[in-house]
Amino acid sequence: MAKPRFAYLLLKEHPYGREMLKQILSEGFIPEIIVQEDSIIADEEREKFLTRIEGNPISPTIEEQANKNEIRVVSVPIHNSKEVMPFIEDLDLDLIVFGGTRIIRGDILDHPKDGVINSHPGLLPECRGSASPAWSVYHDIPIGSSTHFCDNGIDTGALLMRREVKVKRGMTYEDLCFETLVLAGILMKEALIAYDENRWDELKRPQGESEFPTFRNASEEILDIVKDKLSEETYAHYID
């Protein structure tokens, strides 16, 4: 096969999406268009993630990376079919890649020939939803990232890849959030390489069920418990 034609969607200048774009560009996967959501939610999520990875490096901005690679960037007030489809409906897309978005449903998911894929900063199916590193520590779930197809559920589509983060004693919550962010970008890059090599059929498999709920954002009380567990090194899945 050839490199896929794809659109890249993310919340405006989200650090998660900036890292993922850097990773996929490094292997020559250049989106036909980047569609950023410019909204209050996007601002809130960006600041939330910047706090989560505080003290760790941040990849170049979307604007810088797009200009360097001559990629068209457009902004929409929300990632829904009404706003996004006018920019992509005339593009012959193989894929859509999500680089940090809110939950997206509808025509967008049905448009590309070979599907919509997302990287999630948690191991699926065990840790669906928000704040995966926090809930992973809280419930003693192994920490990692997963690349999966998007359907109308929340992180429920078929898996392509998943990999654990090697958690060492002394790592902070911010370190774990950063490690899952970077790994999510790496897995997306590897998934696109596998597409180029026509290996998706051998990788794609159902997620299965999880004994845990779909998590929502972790409260400050939960985060305090998480940080205490990491400080006291009582988390169950250290490698050392």
Range of 76's domain?
6-232
pLDDT tier, 27 (very low <50, low <70, confident <90, very high otherwise): very high
Does 239 map to a domain? no
Does 146 map to a domain? yes
What was the pLDDT predicted at 54?
A: 96
What was the pLDDT predicted at 131?
A: 95
The whole model's pTM is what?
A: 0.96
Does 237 map to a domain? no
Does 117 map to a domain? yes
Mean per-residue pLDDT over the chain, rounded: 96
Question: Three-class SS of residue 45?
Answer: helix
pLDDT tens for 28-57 read 999 999 999 999 999 999 999 999 999 999
CATH number of residue 168's parent domain: 3.40.50.12230
Sheet of strand 144-149: strand arrangement: 72-76, 33-37, 6-11, 95-98, 116-120, 144-149, 159-164
Mean pLDDT of 58-80: 98
pLDDT at 113 over 90: yes
Does 238 map to a domain? no
pLDDT tens for 178-197 read 999 999 999 999 999 999 99
What was the pLDDT predicted at 97?
A: 98
What was the pLDDT predicted at 153?
A: 87
pLDDT tier, 1 (very low <50, low <70, confident <90, very high otherwise): low
Mean pLDDT of 215-231: 96
Does 56 map to a domain? yes
What was the pLDDT predicted at 181?
A: 97
Go through the chain and tell me how many residues it has: 240
Tally of domains in the chain: 1
Mean pLDDT of 8-30: 98
